[in-house]
Structure 1
Amino acid sequence: MPNTRPDFDVIVIGGGMVGATCALALAGRGLNLAVIEAQEPPRSWSQGAIDGRVSALNRASQRLFERLELWESIRELGVNPYQAMHVWDALSGGQIHFDSQALGEPDLGYIVENRVVQRVLWEQLENAEAVTLLCPAGIVGLETDSSGAQLMLTDGRTLTTRLVIGADGRDSLVRTLADIETETVEYAQRAIVAQVRPTDWHRDTAWQRFLPTGPLALLPLADGRCSLVWSADDDRARELLALDDAAFSAALTEASELRLGTLTLDSPRTAIALRRQHATTYIRPALALIGDAAHAIHPLAGQGVNLGFMDAAELAAAILLAHRHGRALGGRWTLRRYERARRHVNAQMLQMMDGFKRLFGNTEPLIVRARGLGLNLVDHLEPVKRLMMQSAFSGQFSATSRQRSASQQRLFSDHFDS
C-alpha cells in the first residue's frame, strides 16, 4: 500500500446489524470511518406489517445497545419481551420449560424485527461524527498488507484504509477476496420463515418442538402473532413450500400439536438453506471478519446475531485500545486480541448447536428414549436449569467467555463513559 495518509482509518464493508453496530461503537472516538453498504434499510412501513426476519436478542446484546445509547430508540419502534421458553421432543415426549421468574428477571430476552434494529443503527450513523456512508456501493477488489488496505469500488473509485472490517454476511466477498477458507458442513435443511397468527395467546413464550426432520420454533410478537422458523430437511421443506397457504397452515398446526391452537399463515414464506460455517481465521493483515462473514450457525437456538454483536463489540474494543496506545489499528497485536477473544467462544457455540441438531434429528430408539429422559430429568433439576438459563440469557457459555465479557465491559466503560 502507498505510504501516504489513507482515506479512512477504518472501513466497514456491510452496513447490516452487525457491521453498523461495530461502526457505531467506533464512531466519535477520534477515528475517520466509512461504511460501504449495497442498500439502505427501510425507514418506514405500513401499520401492521411485520418484517419476516426477526432476532431473539439476549441480555448481552441488549446491554451493548444500552451502552451505545440505542436501546430506547429500538424499544420505541417495537420489541416484545419473552418471559418463558418451552421445548419438547416429538418422538420421545420429553420436554423442558424455562421461566424468567426462576432467574429473578422480568424476561429472558426480546424478539425484535431486524428492520427496527437496522433503521435505528443507520439513523445514528447518519448523524455520527466522522462517519461516511457509501450507499449504494460495493467492492470488486481488495488488497491488504501490513501497512493497510486498498479497496476497488463498483463505481471505479479506489479507497485506502488502515483496517477493513468484513461484515458482509455468510457469503462474504471480503472473505473470498482475502483468500480465507471456511470449514463448512451443509445441513441439507432449509429454514422456512414467516409470520403466523394463532387462535390462542402465545403467553409471551418462545415455543420449540423438535421434529425428526428438524426443529419448529414459534417466537412471540407484540401484536399476538408469532414469527415462525421451521427448519426442515430439504425434501420436507420442498413439500411444505409447495403447499398452498391453507394446507401449509394445517400442516403447521398439526406439527405444533395445537399448543397455540390453530395457526394461520399471515405472510409470504421464505426459505434459507442452512449450514454450519466457520472461517479458518478471522484476520489477515489490515483485515478482520465479524458476524456471519466469520461464522454461520444453525438457527435452532437463535444465537447467530448475538454472536455477531459480541464480535462487533470485541473488535471495537481492541481497535479503541490500539488507538489509545498508538498501536497499528490493522496490526497483529490488535487483530490477534480480537480473534483470541472470539474465535474459540464462537467455535464452542457452533459445535454445541451442531450437537443439538444431530441429537434431536436422530431416530434411533435408544437415543430417542435417552434424550426424552434427559429432558424430563433436567426439567426437574432447578439448579441445572437455572444455570442453563443464565448462560443463554447472558450469552456467556464458559468461564473464558465470562472473563472476556468482563474485560470488554471494563474497556467499553473506559471509552463510552469518558
Structure 2
Amino acid sequence: MTDTSTITSDIVIVGGGIAGLAMAARLAKRTAFTITVLDGDRTPEMPDETLQLRTTSLNSAALTLLEDAGVMAHLPARFLTDFNRLEAGSRNAPDALSFSAEDIDLARFGVFVENDRLRAALWQTLASLTQVTLISDARLSSFHHNDDHVDGLLDDGRALHTHLIIGADGARSQVRHLAGISSQQRDYAQEAMIINVRLTGSPGHTTWQIFTPSGPVALLPLHDRQASLIWYDRPGQIHKRMSMSDDTLRAAIIEAFPTRLGQIDTIIERGRFPIRRLHAQRYAGKRVVLIGDAAHVIHPMAGQGINLGLADVVSLAEALEHESDPGNDQALSRYQRRQWPRNAAMLTGVEQLHHLFTLPFAPLRTLAERGLRGADRMGPVKRFMMSLATGQPLTTGRGHSDHDTSS
C-alpha cells in the first residue's frame, strides 16, 4: 500500500552512514533546525563483541566533533584503540617516514574504531533528540526545488517538504545524480583485501604501511591483540587470496608483510572492496549540498576517507549555524569555497603518492623511497603532513603557532 503522507523538516539528510548521521548530530547540537535523516538500510544495531570487518581511523578533529555531539558516550572505551605513531616506507626502508604524536604535542593522533560500532553509536545518539527524525528503509526517488523550499518523493510514495537536502548517500549518490552534479571518477584497477587477525602479541599503537609495486600492505592496530591487515593488489590476485584456506593465507601474509607483523594466532575474517577515486565538480546546487563520499572518494591508503567526510560536516555546520534559512545560497557557497579546494588537494596528493610507489621501474621506486627519507628529515614538511593526519591546525614544537591550515 502506498503511503501518501508528507515528511516536513527544515533539513533532510539523505544517507544514514557515518557522515550523514554525524551531520545530523552536529546540526542538532549547534542549531534549532528540525532534521530528518533518510537511510536506505535497516536501523543499525550495536554489534556484539565480535570484531567487525571494516575499521576506520578517527583523527583528533573528528574525535572532537563526536565528543561534542555526545556520540562517544555510546562507544565503550574497550573498542577504541589509540594510535600515536604512523610509519610508511618500503621493504628496504620500512620506517623511512615516521610521525610521532609527541612531535606536535599530542598524546595520540586518533583512534581506530569499527565502522558498524560508530554508526550504531551515532544512531543511538540521534534517537534521543526530539528535533531529529530517523527514517530507515527509505530512498529518495525525485525532487525539485523552488525559490524557498524543495519538494521530493520517496520510493514508497511519501512526499518530502524541506528547505535543504544534504546528500550523504555515498559514492553512487542519488542526490548528486538528481541534482545534475557531474563528477570525475577513476578506477585504479586495484582492490583492497581486509584481513582481520588476532596476533600472538600486542600490535602496539603504531599504524604502518609498506609500499610495494602491486600496492601497499598496512596494519591497523586494534583491541585484544587484534589487527586489521590491508592488502592492495590487482583484483585477480585478491580473488585468489579470498578463496585460500586460513593456513595458506597465513603463509601468504608472512611472505608479503614485513617481519614486524609478528605471528598470527587466528584469521578472524576477510573481505574485499574496489579502489576508486571520485570528486564532484561542485558540492552545492540550489537548496542541495553534498558531503562525504557523495562529494569525494579518496584512495584509502591515506586513511582519510571518514575524516574528510567529518571535516565536511564541521565546515557545512559552521556555514549554516547562523542562518535562518538553511538553504541560503550564500551559506552553501561558503561551504563549497572552503571544502572543495581542500579536498581536491588531498585527493591529488594521495593519487600522486599511489603512482609514485607503484611504479614498475625499480630505479624510480628507489627515488620515491629516498623522497620519503627526505621528507622525514624536513621538519616543516613533517609537521604539515601530521597536521593533515590529525585534522588540526599546524603547530611547531611546544605549542607555538607556525601555520594555520584551518581557514
TM-score, normalised by the number of residues in structure 2: 0.90
Aligned to 1:359: 356
More displaced, 253-262 or 207-216? 253-262
Residue identity matched to 2:354: K
Aligned to 2:219: 218
Residue identity matched to 1:30: A
Could you say what secondary structure the match of 1:140 adopts? strand
Pair 386,317 (structure 1): closer, same or farther in 2 beyond 3 Å: closer
User: How far does residue 397 in structure 1 lie from its aligned partner after superposition?
Assistant: 8.1
User: How far does residue 377 in structure 1 lie from its aligned partner after superposition?
Assistant: 3.2
User: How far does residue 215 in structure 1 lie from its aligned partner after superposition?
Assistant: 0.9
Map 1:332-371 → 2, pairs under 5 A? 332-371=329-368
Map 1:330-409 → 2, pairs under 5 A? 330-382=327-379, 384-394=381-391, 402-404=405-407
Aligned to 2:298: 297
| 2:191–2:273 contact (8 Å) kept in structure 1 | yes
Q: Is structure 2 residue 183 aligned with structure 1 residue 186?
A: no
CA distance in 2, matches of 1:272, 1:93: 25
Aligned to 1:260: 261
Aligned to 2:75: 74
User: How far does residue 190 in structure 1 lie from its aligned partner after superposition?
Assistant: 0.7
User: How far does residue 396 in structure 1 lie from its aligned partner after superposition?
Assistant: 5.3
CA distance in 2, matches of 1:273, 1:342: 25
Could you say what secondary structure the match of 2:163 adopts? strand
| 1:279–1:295 contact (8 Å) kept in structure 2 | yes
CA distance in 2, matches of 1:400, 1:140: 45
User: How far does residue 235 in structure 1 lie from its aligned partner after superposition?
Assistant: 2.9
CA distance in 2, matches of 1:192, 1:213: 13
Pair 161,397 (structure 1): closer, same or farther in 2 beyond 3 Å: farther
CA distance in 2, matches of 1:242, 1:163: 46
Listed one character per residue, the Cα deviations across residues 203-256 of structure 1 (whole Å, up to 9, x for unaligned) are 211121111111111100011110122221223222322322221221112111
Find 1:46's aligned residue among 29, 40, 48.
48
CA distance in 1, matches of 2:404, 2:196: 34
CA distance in 2, matches of 1:300, 1:130: 37
Pair 217,397 (structure 1): closer, same or farther in 2 beyond 3 Å: farther
Residue identity matched to 2:310: F
CA distance in 1, matches of 2:9, 2:296: 26
Aligned to 1:411: none
Q: Which runs of 5+ in 2 are unaligned?
A: 1-5, 396-401
Could you say what secondary structure the match of 2:180 adopts? coil
More displaced, 128-137 or 143-152? 143-152
User: How far does residue 383 in structure 1 lie from its aligned partner after superposition?
Assistant: 5.4
Find 1:30's aligned residue among 29, 32, 37.
32
Listed one character per residue, the Cα deviations across residues 365-409 of structure 1 (whole Å, up to 9, x for unaligned) are 3312212222233334455434432332235589997243xxxxx
Residue identity matched to 2:213: P
Q: Is structure 2 residue 62 aligned with structure 1 residue 65?
A: no
CA distance in 1, matches of 2:190, 2:213: 12
Could you say what secondary structure the match of 1:44 adopts? coil
User: How far does residue 198 in structure 1 lie from its aligned partner after superposition?
Assistant: 2.4
| 2:94–2:210 contact (8 Å) kept in structure 1 | no
CA distance in 2, matches of 1:116, 1:131: 20
User: How far does residue 258 in structure 1 lie from its aligned partner after superposition?
Assistant: 2.1
More displaced, 83-92 or 395-404? 395-404
Aligned to 2:21: 20
| 1:191–1:274 contact (8 Å) kept in structure 2 | yes
Pair 384,350 (structure 1): closer, same or farther in 2 beyond 3 Å: closer
CA distance in 1, matches of 2:293, 2:76: 25
Listed one character per residue, the Cα deviations across residues 39-82 of structure 1 (whole Å, up to 9, x for unaligned) are 245433333x0111111111110111122233343354621101
| 1:36–1:134 contact (8 Å) kept in structure 2 | yes
| 2:150–2:162 contact (8 Å) kept in structure 1 | yes
Residue identity matched to 2:216: P
Aligned to 1:415: none
Pair 354,336 (structure 1): closer, same or farther in 2 beyond 3 Å: same
CA distance in 1, matches of 2:80, 2:27: 25
CA distance in 2, matches of 1:342, 1:400: 18
Q: Which runs of 5+ in 1 are unaligned?
A: 405-418
Could you say what secondary structure the match of 2:172 adopts? coil
**Between the two proteins, what is the percent identity of the paired residues?**
32
CA distance in 2, matches of 1:383, 1:79: 30
Aligned to 1:409: none
Listed one character per residue, the Cα deviations across residues 144-175 of structure 1 (whole Å, up to 9, x for unaligned) are 24332222112111111110001011111111
